[in-house]
Amino acid sequence: MVVTQAIKSGAATRALALLGVFIIAKLAILLGRPIQLSLWTPIAYFWQDALVALAFSLLDIAIRRPWIGWTIYGAAVLYAAINVPIARVLSSPLTWPMIGAAGGALSDSIGHHATPANLALMSGAIAAGIVLPFLTHRLKARIRIALIIPALLFAPLGPFATSRVETIGLDRNAIMALATTALPRLSARVAVKEGEEDWRASLFGAGSNSDDLSRWRGAAAGRNVVLIALESTGAESLRPYGASRDPMPNLSEMARGALIFEDAYAVYPESIKALFSILCSRYPAMDTETESYARITTPSLASVLKAARYRAALFHSGRFIYLGMKAVVENRGFEVLEDAGAIGGHHESSFGVDEPSTVRRALAWVDSLPRGERFFITYLPIAGHHPYETPEPGPFPEREESDRYLNALHYSDASLGALLRGLRDRGLDRNTLFVIFGDHGQAFGRHQGNYGHSLFLYEENIRVPYLIALPGLIHQQVRIARTISLIDTAPTILDLLGLPAPADYQGRSALDGRPRMALFYTDYSLSLMGLRDDRWKYIYELDSGRSKLFDLRQDAAELNDLSHLHPERVSAYRNLLTRWGAAQKALILAQTD
C-alpha cells in the first residue's frame, strides 16, 4: 500500500529523480577506474543509493508537504554533487572525520583540486537533479514500478554483494557514508586489565632478531635531545631506504652515521594522533575525538624530561588549531609551545609558515638558555604536506604530483640541514641525541584510490624512516631489520638517556632485542586495522569484513593478497586486532568519561 501510494504521488517523482542523480554521481566517480566485474557488481555499487532513495520517499510521504520534500531533495542533490570531485580525488565520499579535518588549514589543498574537470562533473550532477524530476514525472505508473522493484531488491542484497566485490568504499552513498561514520564503528571492551596482554607479541613465534642494541642503553646520558617528526615523509621516497632519487641529502648524510630502522610504522596515518602516540607512548583509539586526549594522564616524554631537569620546547611550522592538536601538546611539560601564529615568517600558506623561520626561532630559543643547561626540542615541520607548495623551485622536474612532493621534501631537508648546522656551529651537536622520523607516509596511487595518507594502511601510508644519531658515538651506519612502531619513541629515548619509562607507556624501547609486531589503524573513511608481523602484513576492513594478507619479503608492493591461502593466520590476526582496538577504545574512554 505504501509503495502504491508512493508511485501515485509526487514523492515518487522526487525519489526516482534522486535515485537517478545518485546513479549519475556514482558513475562519474567510477569513470576511468578499474572495477571488479561480476553479477554482484551493480548491486554492490548501487544498493546504498537505492536504500537512501527509498528512505527519502517514505520520509517524503510521511511529511505530506511537497515544499519540504523539494527542499530535502535539493539539499540531497547538492550534497551528492559536491561529493563527486571529492570521491574522485580521495576515493571516498565525505565522512564525519573528514569534515572535521576540512578546515581552513586545508584550503590550499581544496583549492588545488578545484579544476575545470572536477567543477564540470559537479555541475553535471546538479544539472541532472534539475532535469530528472521533469522526466520522471512523465513516466507512467507501470514504468515507475519497473524502476522501483530493482531498488527494493538491491537494498537487502547489498551487504552480501559488497563482501564479494572489492569497492575500496566507493559503493557508499554520500549521505549514508556521512551518517554511518558519525556513529561508533567499534565497541569499547576490555577483556583483560591493561598490561596483562602483550598485544605486540607475535602469534606465530617470529624468530629472534640478531640486532643487539643493548650496548646503547644509557649511551646518551646527559645529552640534549632533538626530536624531529618529518611531515608526510614515507620511507620509500628516501635514498637510505632504496629510492633512486635523493630528495633529502642532509638526512642521507646523517644516516651514514646513525641507527637506521628499516621497518618503522606509524600507529595512525595522520599527524595529530600520531603525535599523541609519539609523545605519550599511548595508542589513540577508533571513534575518539582528538580533544579527548587532553584528559589522558600518562606523562609525556616532555614531562618526564622536565622532571629530569631538561628545558622543553616545541616548534611547529603549522597551526595548533588544526585537528585538535592543542589537546595533544598543551600541559605536556613543554615550557615553550610555538606554532605558525607565534613564529610568523616570510612565507605563509593556509597550513603554516616557512620552515627557515621555524628553525631560526628554535635556535634563538637555544641561545636564550643558560650555558650548559640541557634541552629537549621537538620540531614539527609542515613541508611535505599537500599541495606540496614551496617558496622556491626544487631540483626535480615537476612532471607528476609525486615530483612536486619530492621538491617539498627537499625544501624540508634544507631546513633540517640548517638546524643541524646551527647546533653544530654552537658546539652542541656532539652533546645531542637526534631522533628523526616521518610522522606518516604519502601515497600516489600505487594501490587503487590511494592518494594522500589518511585513508589506507598500505606501506606507502604508514612505513616511515626512523633514524637515531649520536654524533661522536655512532660513526657508521647500523641497519636494524626488526619492526618497530612510533609508539616506541618515548621509551627508546629514555632508554638511551638511561632514564626509566613510566609504567603506563604502551611502547617498548627499540633497544630491546625481542621481535615485536607493529599495530596500526585508520578511521578517516573505511574502518581499517592492520599489523606487521615479521614478514607478514595484514589489513582488516571492519566495514566489509574483508581481509588482506601480504608476504612483504616476496611482495614488498603489496600486490598479491594471500589471505585465502592462510585462513588460520588471518583468523588469528583478525581476532587480535578487533580485541586490541576495543581495548584501546575502552582505555581512552575510561580516562575521558
> Computed over its alpha carbons, how large is the radius of gyration of the chain?
26
Q: What is the mean pLDDT of residues 8-37?
A: 87
pLDDT at position 197:
80
Boundary (domain end) residue, out of 485, 516, 547: 516
Query: Is the pLDDT confidence value at 425 over 90?
Result: yes
**274-303 confidence digits (pLDDT tens):** 999 999 999 999 998 888 898 999 999 999
Q: Do 170 and 242 belong to one domain?
A: no
Crossing angle, helix 66-90 and helix 116-137, to 10 degrees?
150
Query: Is the pLDDT confidence value at 553 over 80?
Result: yes
Report CA-CA distances (Å) from 264 to 158, 214, 513, 537: 38, 19, 15, 13
pLDDT at position 12:
78
Residue 375 lies in a domain: yes
Helix and strand element counts for the chain (H, E): 19, 15
Q: Do 344 and 240 belong to one domain?
A: yes
Name the 3-class secondary structure at 323: helix
Residue 197 lies in a domain: no
Residue 461 lies in a domain: yes
pLDDT at position 208:
54
Long-range pairs for 201-204 at CB < 8 Å and ≥24 separation? Answer: 201/516, 201/517, 202/515, 202/516, 202/517, 202/533, 202/534, 203/533, 203/569, 203/572, 203/573, 203/576, 204/533, 204/569, 204/572
**222-254 confidence digits (pLDDT tens):** 999 999 999 999 999 999 999 999 999 999 999
Count of other CB atoms within 10 angstroms of residue 559: 9
In whole angstroms, what is the distance from residue 487 CA to residue 496 CA? 16
pLDDT at position 195:
54
Q: Do 144 and 291 belong to one domain?
A: no
In whole angstroms, what is the distance from residue 317 CA to residue 362 CA? 11
Query: Is the pLDDT confidence value at 2 over 80?
Result: no
Q: What is the CATH number of the domain that holds 265?
A: 3.40.720.10
Beta strands (DSSP E) in 106-245 are 224-230
Q: Do 145 and 234 belong to one domain?
A: no
N-to-C CA span, the chain: 47
pTM: 0.92
Cell of 263: 621497518
Whether 510 and 492 have beta carbons less than 8 Å apart is answered as yes
pLDDT at position 465:
98
Q: Do 148 and 225 belong to one domain?
A: no
Which has more confidence, 154 or 166? Answer: 166
Boundary (domain end) residue, out of 449, 484, 516: 516
pLDDT at position 185:
85
pLDDT at position 81:
95
Q: Do 145 and 276 belong to one domain?
A: no
**165-199 confidence digits (pLDDT tens):** 999 999 999 999 999 998 888 887 755 555 568 89
Q: Do 157 and 306 belong to one domain?
A: no
Q: Do 85 and 167 belong to one domain?
A: yes
Range of the domain at 54: 2-181
Q: Do 253 and 155 belong to one domain?
A: no
Query: Is the pLDDT confidence value at 206 over 80?
Result: no
In whole angstroms, what is the distance from residue 512 CA to residue 316 CA? 31
Q: Do 241 and 337 belong to one domain?
A: yes
pLDDT at position 191:
52
In whole angstroms, what is the distance from residue 150 CA to residue 421 CA? 68
Beta strands (DSSP E) in 183-246 are 224-230
Query: Is the pLDDT confidence value at 323 over 90?
Result: no
What's the chain's average pLDDT?
A: 90
Beta strands (DSSP E) in 489-561 are 518-522, 528-533, 536-541, 546-551
Q: What is the mean pLDDT of residues 541-549?
A: 92
Residue 110's pLDDT band, with cuts at 50, 70 and 90, is low
Residue 577 lies in a domain: no
- Phi, psi for 210 (deg, rounded to 5): -85, 0
Residue 545 lies in a domain: no
- The b-or-e profile of 264-274 (16+ CB within 10 A means b, else e) is bbbbbbbbbbb
**42 upstream amide cis, omega within 30 of 0:** no
Q: Do 177 and 259 belong to one domain?
A: no
Whether 269 and 476 have beta carbons less than 8 Å apart is answered as no
Q: Write the DSSP symbol of residue 370.
A: P
Query: Is the pLDDT confidence value at 8 over 50?
Result: no
- The b-or-e profile of 485-496 (16+ CB within 10 A means b, else e) is bbbbbbbbbbbb
In whole angstroms, what is the distance from residue 107 CA to residue 168 CA? 26
**435-475 confidence digits (pLDDT tens):** 999 999 999 999 999 998 899 999 999 999 999 999 999 99
CA quadruple 96, 278, 263, 531: dihedral positive or negative?
negative
Residue 544 lies in a domain: no
Non-local (6+) Cβ contacts of 537 within 8 A are: 459, 530, 531, 549, 550, 552, 558
Cell of 92: 571516498
Which has more confidence, 70 or 138? Answer: 70
Boundary (domain end) residue, out of 516, 534, 556: 516
Query: Is the pLDDT confidence value at 576 over 80?
Result: yes
In total, how many domains does the chain have? 2
Residue 342 lies in a domain: yes
Residue 543 lies in a domain: no
Crossing angle, helix 41-63 and helix 174-181, to 10 degrees?
80
**Which is nearest to 489 in space by CA: 269, 267, 317, 298?**
267
Q: Do 97 and 244 belong to one domain?
A: no
Whether 489 and 227 have beta carbons less than 8 Å apart is answered as yes
